[in-house]
């Protein structure tokens, strides 16, 4: 690739060559018109024009160095040959022309070319001197036998001095141009690096703003979901009770059933809010990713409909630690999203495979870090999306569907579940080319956990067991206590940690189970459980949470999910969790064994 200096010299060199061509051609035309025929001069001018044309052609073809060599060496050889053939006496007018190729060699080709051209010129001049002395078969008058030696000496001295000047000053200018070119390249490289760094910084700033936006919306959604879950616990429990107690088939029972169904839909919506805010109470276990996908096949086909072909390719992706119910939710949401993108039918391909990432993602780009992953890839043949849509695809409440046909929580829920499970998700899509979602979940080497089974009956689960219910929301506390009493348990109620400690101290009998909210004013549920376990080692614990903030994560409940009941809950869910908690090890034994009560 030609440098900037060579590009500039190429223009000057072509102008010089074309000017020389014009002058030489004009001289030959003048001689032809006036009948002046000198064969040697005609041959010399013709060879000069051919050399100039060849040099211009090479320069135009992008081979600047070759073109410069052709022009400089051609001019030197043609002039030198003409001087050598004519002798110094008859060619003395041409001696001054030797300065042209000498300067050309110095300023375009460099020091080596300069001294090579000078050596060639001196050789041709020595040849001409020998011809003048009849050493080479020359003939002709010799007006002054010593004039050739004087002319040779003077010309040689002049050419050597010119070469020294060109070497010292001309090449200094050339080196200065080369240094300037090097500095220009360095400046361009530094500018490109600065621009790249600025672009990378801008991308990182955009990612930070996006993350802050998601976090802010997530915190807001999580707080709203927490309050709604408290309200829905009461609404759903009371509507369940009304449906059970009202006469079968009555209008009032139908109204109560409508309230219950609406409450269930609202509860599902709050679960989506918790998912996008990454505040769900997960129950992760080691499982085979292939098995989760295979189990979801039938339900996925029902969601997609008959006009969408479902293709599942399982590649032994390996084991991951995740909540199987939440993975099913991820698959369902992606399937629903794909179905909406294929209104006229299409094809949905779900693939699993093990992958190993050996290099971090590019600067400013999202992606998995180096490690071993199980990849879940979901590809549809839908309408695809443009870059602007891809930028916002995981934003809460963002949807491309018409108003009223989508909540904009489906893909943001997927993003929240995957992120909370320690994985990452990315999308590749173009308009008209469908979309591909890649989910990477860290692989684990632990053996797969057995599927959870219904807890066996235990003595503590029969009628007569005593349960301490601690909940700062009075209506939730009353509803929870009523559910437990309906199951035959004796219930102690407390509105906070201090009241619970006082109730426990005042109760003379055993307390089999503590059912406590996680987040309460003052002392949290886990801290209360620690204090009660210190004086009642046989106490079991069940936590109830409307969402999972930092205090829950601090006590390890997010990771295990054991002994946590998610609000809003039904009477059946509460009863099942209570039986499981009563069958678990007492909090005092867990504490003594180095494990926190869960």
- Residue 232 CB coordination number (10 Å): 23
Mean pLDDT of all residues belonging to the chain: 78
| DSSP label at residue 235 | H
CATH number of 459-592: 3.40.50.2300
Residue corresponding to tokens 């025929």: 37
Q: How much is the pLDDT for 597? A: 34
Domain 285-357+368-444: CATH architecture, name and number where available? 2-Layer Sandwich (3.30)
| DSSP label at residue 594 | T
Q: Which has the higher per-residue pLDDT, 288 or 129?
A: 288
Average pLDDT value for residue range 204-230 = 69
For 244-266, write each residue's pLDDT tens digit: 888 888 888 888 888 888 888 77
Question: DSSP of 28-69, one letter per residue?
Answer: HHHHHHHT---HHHHHHHHHHHHHHHHHHHHHHTT-HHHHHH
Q: How much is the pLDDT for 2? A: 53
- Contact (CB, 8 A) for 318 and 443: yes
Q: How much is the pLDDT for 38? A: 64
Sequence-distant contacts of 222-225: CB under 8 A, at least 24 apart:
222/273, 222/274, 222/277, 222/279, 222/547, 222/549, 223/547, 224/270, 224/273, 225/270, 225/271, 225/273, 225/274, 225/277, 225/279, 225/546, 225/547
Give the residue from 95, 116, 96 showing the smallest Cα distance to 106: 116
- Contact (CB, 8 A) for 509 and 464: no
Q: Which has the higher per-residue pLDDT, 37 or 156?
A: 156
Structure tokens given for 174: 């050339």
Q: One fold for both 285-357+368-444 and 459-592? A: no
pLDDT band for 390, please (50, 70, 90 cuts).
confident
Winning range, highest mean pLDDT, from 199-208, 404-413, 435-444, 573-582: 435-444
**Distance between CA 399 and CA 385 in Å, rounded?**
12
Q: For the stretch 152-162, what's the b/e string if a residue is b when 16 or more beta carbons lie within 10 angstroms of its beta carbon?
A: beebeeebeeb
pLDDT band for 121, please (50, 70, 90 cuts).
confident
Tell me: pLDDT of 442 over 90: yes
Q: How much is the pLDDT for 592? A: 46
Range of weakest confidence among 192-196, 306-310, 314-318, 586-590: 586-590
pLDDT band for 460, please (50, 70, 90 cuts).
very low
Q: How much is the pLDDT for 538? A: 87
Q: How much is the pLDDT for 440? A: 93
Average pLDDT value for residue range 58-86 = 81
Q: Which residues contact 133 (CB under 8 A, 6 or more apart)?
A: 148
Tell me the Cα Rg of the chain.
46
- Contact (CB, 8 A) for 371 and 359: no
Average pLDDT value for residue range 518-522 = 82
Winning range, highest mean pLDDT, from 13-27, 423-437, 460-474, 536-550: 423-437
Q: Give 51: exposed, middle or buried? Use CB within 10 Å, 0-12, 13-18, 19+.
A: buried
pLDDT band for 120, please (50, 70, 90 cuts).
confident
Q: Which has the higher per-residue pLDDT, 190 or 362?
A: 190
Tell me: pLDDT of 591 over 50: no
Q: Which residues contact 36 (CB under 8 A, 6 or more apart)?
A: 30
Ramachandran sector of residue 490 (left: φ over 0; alpha: ψ -120 to 50; beta: rest): beta
Alpha helices in 421-549 (DSSP H): 474-486, 497-506, 525-535
Q: What angle do CA 57, 60, 66 make, to 5 degrees?
A: 65
Q: How much is the pLDDT for 560? A: 43
Q: How much is the pLDDT for 593? A: 47
Average pLDDT value for residue range 136-163 = 65
Q: Which residues contact 193 (CB under 8 A, 6 or more apart)?
A: none
Q: Which has the higher per-residue pLDDT, 401 or 328?
A: 328
Q: Say what percent of the chain tops pLDDT 70.
A: 76
pTM over 0.85: no
Give the residue from 86, 176, 100 showing the smallest Cα distance to 131: 86
Q: Where are the domains of the chain?
A: 4-143, 210-276, 285-357+368-444, 459-592
| DSSP label at residue 486 | H
pLDDT band for 519, please (50, 70, 90 cuts).
confident
Tell me: pLDDT of 134 over 80: no
Range of weakest confidence among 28-42, 71-85, 130-144, 456-470: 130-144
Give the residue from 225, 224, 331 showing the smallest Cα distance to 268: 225
Tell me: pLDDT of 190 over 60: yes
Range of weakest confidence among 5-19, 220-234, 558-572: 558-572
For 223-240, write each residue's pLDDT tens digit: 676 677 788 888 888 888
Q: How much is the pLDDT for 352? A: 93
């Amino acid at each position: 690739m030609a440098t900037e200096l060579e590009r500039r010299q190429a223009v000057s060199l072509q102008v010089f060559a074309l000017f020389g061509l014009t002058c030489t051609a004009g001289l030959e035309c003048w001689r032809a018109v006036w009948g002046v025929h000198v064969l040697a001069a005609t041959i010399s001018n013709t060879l000069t024009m051919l050399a100039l044309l060849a040099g211009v052609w090479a320069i135009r073809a992008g081979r600047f160095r070759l073109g410069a060599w052709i022009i400089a060496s051609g001019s030197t050889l043609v002039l030198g040959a003409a001087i050598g053939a004519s002798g110094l006496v008859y060619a003395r007018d041409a001696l001054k022309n030797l300065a042209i190729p000498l300067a050309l060699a110095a300023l375009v080709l460099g020091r080596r070319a300069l001294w090579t051209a000078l050596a060639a010129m001196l050789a041709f001049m020595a040849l001409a001197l020998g011809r003048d002395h009849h050493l080479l078969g020359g003939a002709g008058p010799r007006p002054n036998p010593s004039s050739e030696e004087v002319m040779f000496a003077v010309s040689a001295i002049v050419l050597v001095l010119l070469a020294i000047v060109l070497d010292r000053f001309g090449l200094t200018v050339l080196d200065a141009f080369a240094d300037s070119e090097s500095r220009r390249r360095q400046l361009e490289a530094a500018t490109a690096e600065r621009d790249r760094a600025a672009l990378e910084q801008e991308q990182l700033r955009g990612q930070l703003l996006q993350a802050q936006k998601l976090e802010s919306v997530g915190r807001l959604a999580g707080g709203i979901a927490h309050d709604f879950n408290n309200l829905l616990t009461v609404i759903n429990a009371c509507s369940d009770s009304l449906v059970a107690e009202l006469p079968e088939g009555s209008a009032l029972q139908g109204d109560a059933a409508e309230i219950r169904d609406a409450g269930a839909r609202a509860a599902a919506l709050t679960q989506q809010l918790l998912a996008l805010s990454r505040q769900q109470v997960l129950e992760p276990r080691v499982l085979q990713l292939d098995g989760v996908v295979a189990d979801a096949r039938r339900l996925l086909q029902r969601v997609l409909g008959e006009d969408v072909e479902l293709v599942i390719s399982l590649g032994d992706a390996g084991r991951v630690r995740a909540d199987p119910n939440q993975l099913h939710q991820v698959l369902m949401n992606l399937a629903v999203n794909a179905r909406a993108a294929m209104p006229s039918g299409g094809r949905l391909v779900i693939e699993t495979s093990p992958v190993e990432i050996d290099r971090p993602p590019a600067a400013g780009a999202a992606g998995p870090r180096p490690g071993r992953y199980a990849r879940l890839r979901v590809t549809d043949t839908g309408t695809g999306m443009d870059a602007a849509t891809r930028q916002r695809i995981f934003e809460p409440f963002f949807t491309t569907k018409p108003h009223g046909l989508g909540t904009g929580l489906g893909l943001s829920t997927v993003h929240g579940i995957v992120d909370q499970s320690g994985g990452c998700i990315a999308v590749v899509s173009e308009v008209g080319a469908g979309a591909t979602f890649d989910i990477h979940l860290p692989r684990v080497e632990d053996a797969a956990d057995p599927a959870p089974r219904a807890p066996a009956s235990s003595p503590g689960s029969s009628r007569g067991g005593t349960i301490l219910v601690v909940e700062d929301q009075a209506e939730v506390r009353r509803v929870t206590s009523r559910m437990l009493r309906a199951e035959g348990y004796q219930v102690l109620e407390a509105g906070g940690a201090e009241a619970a400690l006082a109730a426990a101290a005042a109760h003379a009998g055993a307390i089999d189970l503590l059912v406590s909210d996680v987040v309460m004013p003052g002392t949290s549920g886990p801290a209360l459980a620690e204090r009660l376990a210190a004086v009642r080692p046989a106490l079991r614990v069940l936590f109830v949470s409307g969402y999972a903030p930092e205090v829950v994560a601090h006590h390890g409940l997010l990771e295990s999910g054991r002994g946590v009941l998610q609000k809003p809950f039904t009477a059946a869910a509460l009863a099942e969790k209570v039986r499981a908690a009563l069958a678990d090890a007492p909090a005092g034994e867990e504490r003594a064994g180095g494990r926190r009560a869960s």
